[in-house]
Amino acid sequence: MIRDMLIVLGGFLGSGRSLLARMLATETGFHYHSFHEKKMRHLVRDERNMEKVRTIQPNTDELRMRICEEMLNDFPMLSKMHDNVIVEDVLHRKIPREFFLKEAKRYFDPVVFVWIETPDDTTEARLKAMEKKGIIPSVSVALQRRTFVMKEFQPFESLPLIFFHKKTDARAAKKLNVFIQHCLKRKLIAD
């Protein structure tokens, strides 16, 4: 087993990226560290007048960079406390993404970036489940956000590993782990 590895999962809303990251952490025993904890939050009231905390998604590269910097501030301690770490976020914008991946290499080696893809028909089902759990306010708002982010997407400087899956479950996490280990053995991961 490689030590001092950082696995970074990127992907659009509804790709199963967050759940897959947590399941991969369980599968591998790696520490899962959340980008979401670095994002701004505010209280809202739902239809039953209950207060809920909502995460505000950064809408400029400047705000995305600030979140990346806050995440990177945790890495000196994280790299001492945990042999291997998993993080995930959309990472659809080139400047914050490349900055984050480059700076992460100061604390972890290798840094493995995997882009998570899923078919559109499973995306909507995932979004419905997220709405039911109160993770997102509505499927229609999430689909609008997803479309907006996809239009904002900037190409990768160097092509990441791409993992395509239909169902986010323990089996998918196991397949992702095998895929990453295979790529590491074959040295398919760029420095």
pLDDT tens for 1-29 read 567 999 999 999 999 999 999 999 999 99
Of the chain, the percentage scoring pLDDT greater than 70 comes to 86
Distance from CA of residue 157 to its chain's centroid?
18
Tokens of 118: 């899923």
Classify residue 170: in a domain, yes or no: yes
Answer whether 0.85 is exceeded by the pTM. Answer: yes
Q: Is residue 191 part of a domain?
A: no
The tally of domains found in the chain comes to 1
* Lowest-pLDDT choice from 60-64, 104-108, 151-155: 60-64
Q: What pLDDT does 53 receive?
A: 54
In angstroms, the Cα distances linking 136 to 78, 84, 105 are 29, 30, 33
CA–CA gap between residue 101 and residue 105 (Å, rounded): 7
| Dihedral Cα 180, 188, 35, 120, nearest 10 deg | -70
Is 190 a member of any domain? no
Among the listed residues 98, 67, 90, 93, the one whose alpha carbon sits nearest the alpha carbon of residue 152: 93
Whether residue 94 lies inside any domain: the answer is yes
Q: What is the domain extent for residue 138?
A: 5-185
Query: Domain of 59: which CATH number?
Result: 3.40.50.300
